[in-house]
Structure 1
Amino acid sequence: MKPDRTALDYLELFRSGSWFRATPADFQERVLRLGVLRSLKTGQHLFSRGNLPAGIYGVVDGAIRLRTLGSSGREALLKFLEPPSWCGEIALFDGLPLTHDAIADAPSLVVHVPHAPLEALLAEQPGYWREFGRLMAQHMRLTLLSIDETALEAAPIRLARRLLLIAQNYGDLHGHSSRVIEVRQEELAMMLSISRQTTNQLLKQLEAQGIVGLRYGEIEILDLEKLRGVVAGNG
């Protein structure tokens, strides 16, 4: 990272995301002018469950893993945040401690917009609350869909849907999808609450159909339309 780089230098990157792209231009610039850049090493916490609200975060490079730990120490992996994703908006609204851990899954660069100046901006421009409300609604919609699929859908469809969501960066990529997903099979298994063995078997089935290609730590989507067909129950 060049020492003279600022959060505002990543304006166009964040505009590639569906949420940030739809916000007013003045909102985009004023929020990023408040941001500071944070570099994280692999395994370093961006924030931890129970921390007090500290602002919002936008991913510039790398990947951030959102997870929670049960009382037994078992990890539940919620999702990966990749550029140009944002998080932290829930605590901005309710002021309560954070509910999850956010950990760098690779060397990462993040824009951190601190809580106090962000609240001051919102007090000055209360209309900006609507933009963060839209971000929270986007995340809530995905959470509810995930709950529905866990309760109602068979594992092959859940896996295909999760691959599609990751490829589209959980709906945040504007107008395109990533063909190569950097995710390990054990991580997918944790996201879907199924065994790694089952995950491997389902991925092998998709590979045999020419839908995905499997490599260590990566899954390449070879046929996006066929994958969508599996999600629709036509695979």
Structure 2
Amino acid sequence: MKPSTTSAQTLAAALCSELWYAQCEPEFQAALLTLGRLWVLSDGERLFHRGAVEGALCCVTAGALRVGGLQDSGQETLLAFIEPYQWLGEISLIDGQPRSHDVVADGDTTVLLVPRDELLDWLEQHPAHWRSVARLASSKLRLMFSALEDIAQLPLDLRLAKRLWLVAQGYGGRTGAPRRLIRLPQEQLALMLGVSRQTINKALHGLEQRGWLHLRYGTIELLDLEALRAVSEGWDGSDLAGGSSR
């Protein structure tokens, strides 16, 4: 991991493309930029590992991060694929406990790191801004509850459609239009949804046949954003023929 340099003005404008940062008070936005440092990771390099005690608040500014871990059985898990300009690390900032997952660079990746101790000192002097940190944690908690409900209630094809919409929306954090091109390999989608690659491939082809997306090499092109949005908002797809199994 090595330091990087970017214009503060350019970085501030880019960070405002993400809803949480854009809604923070200007004073807190400025503090995150002032305290933060940009670091470059090479493909496969860990940002931090499960059990690490450091607690920086982090934001991806280029590339991507995989959040997950390797279980005792040797099976890999993938909880999230974090892209610009999404934030992570707020839980350890709040409770001071070790990191709960491994976070690894997917390709060359640049991350803004805001050191925990320095940020805590600043928040002690400006306690009103803890509300912004709480909003970030609460948004992640809502996503987690929604994902658990989806596992219990939705067939795989609709869970997949909803996950693709969430990724296109930056997990609800994008201030602009949803992305139509998603760089997310099928192996990683399968890990995120807890199924085999063959199963996820079948589900993707099913959505492609419906005209919702088009599969390209290494990317997924989203064609029917309205259908994906409707699934995300609660449409159960009951009027569609067929469908994948859980």
Indicate the TM-score class for this superposition, using the shorter chain for normalisation: over 0.9
1:190 shift after superposition: 0.8
Paired residues of 1:212 and 1:223 also in contact (CA < 8 A) = yes
| Preserved contact between residue 157 and residue 206 of structure 2 (Cα < 8 Å) | no
Indicate the percent of aligned positions where both proteins have the same amino acid: 40
Query: AA paired with 1:172?
Result: G
Count matched residues: 235
Name the residue aligned to 1:222: 223
CA distance in 1, matches of 2:175, 2:213: 22
Residues 1:179 and 1:33: Cα distance change in structure 2 (over 3 Å): same
- Runs of 4 or more off by more than 2 Å in structure 1? 1-9, 226-231
> CA offset at residue 230 of structure 1?
4.6
Taking structure 1 as reference, are residues 7 and 117 closer, same or farther at Cα in structure 2, changes over 3 Å only?
farther
Residue of structure 2 in register with 1:129 after alignment: 130
Gapped regions of structure 1 (runs ≥ 5): none
Letter in 2 for 1:169: G
Corresponding residue of 2:90: 89
User: Separation in 2 of the partners of 1:122 and 1:228?
Assistant: 37
- Structure 2 residues not aligned, in runs of 5+: 241-246
* Partner Cα distance (2:4, 2:216) in 1: 36
TM-score by length of structure 2 reads: 0.91
Structure 2 CA distance for partners of 1:25 and 1:180, relative to 1, 3 Å: same
Deviations 1:14-50 (A, max 9, x none): 1111111111011101111000010010100011100
Contact 2:208–2:215 (CA under 8 A) maintained in structure 1: yes
d(CA) in 1 for partners of 2:6, 2:183: 27
Shift in Å at residue 7 of structure 1? 5.2
Measure the CA separation in 1 of the matches of 2:61 and 2:166. 19
Cα deviation per residue 1:114-160 (whole Å; 9 max; x = unaligned)? 11111110111111111000000011111111111112211111111
TM-score, normalised by the number of residues in structure 1: 0.95
8 Å CA contact 1:67, 1:78 repeated in 2: yes
Residue number in structure 1 paired with 2:236: 233
Could you say which residue in structure 2 is the equivalent of 1:19? Answer: 20
Equivalent residue, structure 2, for 1:35? 36
Q: 1:69 Cα shift?
A: 2.1
How far apart, in 1, do the equivalents of 2:118 and 2:220 lie?
A: 40
Amino acid at match of 2:24: T
